Amino acid sequence: MPTSHKIPQWESEGFNHIWLPYTQMQTAPLPLPVISANGVRLTLADGRELIDGIASWWCVCHGYQHPYLIKQISNQLDALSHVMFAGLAHEPAYTLARRLVSITPKGLNRVFFSDSGSTAVEVALKMAVQFWSNQKELDKRKFICFRNGYHGDTMGGMSLADPETGMHQMLNHYTPEQYVFDIPHNSRDLAALAESLKKIRKTVAGLVIEPLVQAAGGMKFHSPEILAEIHRLCKQYDILFIADEIATGFGRTGSMFACDEAGITPDIICLGKALTGGMMGLAATLSTEEVFEGFLSDRLETALMHGPTFMANPIGCAAANASLDLFEGEPRIAQVQGIETQLREELKPCHKLENVADVRVKGAIGVVQLSNTDGEYILALRQQFVEEGVWLRPFSDVVYIMPAFTISTAELTQLTDAVFKILAAR
Ligand SMILES: Cc1ncc(COP(=O)(O)O)c(C=O)c1O
C-alpha cells in the first residue's frame, strides 16, 4: 500500500485487520496516524502538524480538546457513564431534550435520541411512515428526496441519496425506491414540483431535505425562499417535511439551524455531528407535538418501536449540554459570520483559475467546484494538501473548507492559501 509517512508499529500491525470507510482497500494509501489534536491542529506520529480544514467531517465545531468539553465529559464519566434509557432516566438527557426544544424551530417539542446521524434519519423515516399508518393511511410510505442529496449510509438513508451520482449506486436494486427530484431553483421549477406532489401525495409519507446546503452530495446551495416554498407545498399536500440538519445544524450555515433562515418549522428534524461539539456520537430526531400525538393510543402497536442500546448515552448528552453552553457563552455565530466574510474574500482569486467552475460560500462553508472531475486528480490533491500542512479532503468535483468555528484568521488564511496554491499549480 502506498504511503508517504513513517509508519508507527500500531499502524503496521493493525492495518491488515482494519476495513476503512469509503475506501478501495486494494489501492488506498495508508491513513495518516494522528496522535493528538488541539484547536484546529492535528499532530501526526512523525511530529508534523496539519491544520484541519474540515473539522473531522464537520462535527468538531469548537475545535479539538476544548477544555470545557473535556471537563464536563469527565465529570459525567465519574458520575454515570451509561445506563439504558428504557424504564430508567437521567438528568443529562432530560436537560438536553429541554434545551434542544428551546433552540430548534418553534413547535418541535419531542426529542428521540439515537447514536448516529444515519440512525436519526432512519428514525425520522420510521416516524413518518408510522404516523400515517397509525391513521390508516397505509399507502403513504414513500419519500421524496433530491438529486445530490445524502442522508447517511443505512438502508433508509441510502434510499434517499441521489441514485445516479450518489455513492450508493451499487445498492440501488436493494434499497427502497423513492421519488427523486431536482431541487427547484425558480418559480417554474417550484410549479413543476407542486404538480408532481399533487399527483403522488397519496403515496408519500414525507419529503426529506438537507436545508440550504446539500453537503456530501456535492456542497450545493439553495435559497431560504425556495426552502420555505418546498415546506409550504408539503403542508398543502399533507406530506411530512423532514429537515436533515445533521450537517447544517448548530451554526454551520450562519444561523443556529438552516430552517431558521427560511422561518419554517419542519415536522421532523434530524440532528447529529456537531450536537456534541464533535466529541462523540450522539444524534436526535425531534418532532412536533402533532407527529408525536399520532403515536398515542392505548395499544403498544401504535408506539414507536425503536431503541438503540446507547441512545441518550449520558456522556454524549453531557457533551452536548456542554457544547450548548459554549454556543451560549461564546460568540460562535459571530465567528461563523467572520469565517464567511473571510472565505468570500480569500477564495475569490480561485474564480480566475482555469480548472475552477464555481466558487461559493455559505456560513462556515467555502466551496471551490472544479471543472476537472478526474478521480485520480482529486485523490492526488488530498496528498498535495497534506504536503502543504493542511487537512482537506476534496471529493467528487469539489474542494471545500468547513473548519471549526474557533479557527483563527491566520489559520483560515493558511487553508485558503493552500487551496489557491495547489489548484493554481495544475
Ligand atoms: C446530511 C447528512 N445526513 C446524514 C448523515 C449521516 O450521519 P452519520 O455519518 O453520523 O451517520 C450525514 C453525514 O455526513 C449528513 O451529512
Confidence at residue 69, expressed as pLDDT on a 0 to 100 scale: 98
Q: Of the residues 113, 151, 222, which should be mutated to test ligand 1's pocket, given the most ligand atoms within 8 Å of the CB?
A: 151
pLDDT at 148 over 70: yes
Grid cell for residue 289 = 407535538
Band (121; pLDDT cuts 50, 70, 90): very high
User: For residue 243, how far is its CA from the centre of ligand 1 (angstroms)?
Assistant: 12
**Separation CA 413–CA 302 (nearest Å):** 54
Grid cell, residue 335, equals 465567528
Is residue 350 a contact partner of residue 423, using CB atoms and an 8 Å limit? yes
Report how far ligand 1's centroid is from the alpha carbon of 273 (Å): 7
More confident call, 174 vs 223: 223
pLDDT per position as a tens digit, 68-112: 999 999 999 999 999 999 999 999 999 999 999 999 999 999 999
Phi, psi of 393 (to 5 degrees): -135, 75
pTM of the shown model = 0.97
Q: Give the span between the Cα atoms of 265 and 256, in whole angstroms.
A: 13
Strand partners, 333: none
**Residue listed under C-alpha cell 503496521:** 12
Answer whether 246 contacts ligand 1 (Cβ < 6 A).
yes
Q: pLDDT band at residue 4, thresholds of 50, 70 and 90?
A: low
Give residue-wise pLDDT tens across range 54-71.
999 999 999 999 999 999
**Measured between alpha carbons, how far is 71 from 76 in angstroms, rounded to an integer?**
9
- Mean pLDDT taken over the chain: 96
In 3D, which of 113, 345, 117, 405 has the Cα closest to residue 243?
Answer: 117
Q: How confident is the model over 6-17, as a mean pLDDT?
A: 92
Question: What backbone torsions phi and psi does residue 284 show, to the nearest 5 degrees?
Answer: -145, 140
Instruction: Say which residue the cell 491544520 belongs to.
Output: 51
247 CA closest ligand 1 atom index: 16
How far apart are the C-alpha atoms of 214 and 242, rounded to whole Å?
14
pLDDT in tens, 25-63: 999 889 999 999 999 999 999 999 999 999 999 999 999
pLDDT per position as a tens digit, 234-278: 999 999 999 999 999 999 999 999 999 999 999 999 999 999 999
C-alpha to C-alpha distance for 309 and 88, rounded to whole angstroms: 13
Name the residue among 327, 326, 322, 315 with its Cα closest to residue 90.
315
Angstrom distance (rounded) from CA 391 to CA 330 = 26
The catalytic residue positions are 22, 150, 244, 273
3-state secondary structure at position 305: coil
Give the closest residue (by CA) to ligand 1 atom 2. 151
Q: Which whole number is the average pLDDT over 186-200?
A: 98
In the predicted model, is pLDDT for residue 176 greater than 90? yes
**pLDDT at site 170:** 86
For 155, the 3-state DSSP assignment is helix
Mapping DSSP to helix (H, G, I), strand (E, B) and coil, where does residue 268 land?
strand
Q: Ligand 1 pocket check: which of 119, 122, 143, 150 to mutate, most ligand atoms within 8 Å of Cβ?
A: 150
pLDDT on residue 237: 98
Q: What is the CA radius of gyration of the chain?
A: 22
With a 6 Å cutoff on the Cβ, whether 272 touches ligand 1 is: yes
Domain chopping of the chain, boundaries? 32-62+333-424, 67-329
CA-closest residue to ligand 1 atom 10: 117
At the topology level, CATH places domain 32-62+333-424 in Aspartate Aminotransferase, domain 1 (3.90.1150)
Assigned fold of 67-329:
Aspartate Aminotransferase; domain 2 (3.40.640)
Alpha carbon distance 407, 106 (integer Å): 31
For residue 3, pLDDT beyond 80: no
Contacts (Cβ under 8 Å, ≥6 apart) of 244: 121, 124, 151, 208, 209, 210, 211, 269, 270
Contacts of 304 (CB under 8 A, 6+ apart): 112, 123, 126, 127, 130, 295
State the pLDDT confidence band at 373, using cuts at 50, 70 and 90.
confident
- Spatial neighbors of 298 by CB under 8 A, at least 6 apart, are none
pLDDT for residue 405: 98
Mean pLDDT of 401-409: 98
Name the DSSP letter for residue 207: E
| % of the chain beyond a pLDDT of 90 | 93
How confident is the model at residue 168, as a pLDDT? 85
pLDDT at 2 over 60: no
Residue with C-alpha cell 445533521? 246
Among protein residues, the one with the nearest Cα to ligand 1's atom 16 is 247
Q: What is the pLDDT of residue 1?
A: 52
* Residue 116 confidence (pLDDT): 98
Q: Per-residue pLDDT for 6 more than 90?
A: no
Ligand 1: centre distance to CA 6 (Å): 32
pLDDT tens by residue, 278-315: 999 999 999 999 999 999 999 999 999 999 999 999 99
Each residue's pLDDT tens digit, 305-358: 999 999 999 999 999 999 999 999 999 999 999 999 999 999 999 999 999 999
The CA-atom distances, in angstroms, between 244 and each of 54, 109, 258 are: 19, 16, 10
The pLDDT > 70 percentage for the chain reads: 99
CA-based nearest residue to 120, from 90, 94, 157: 157
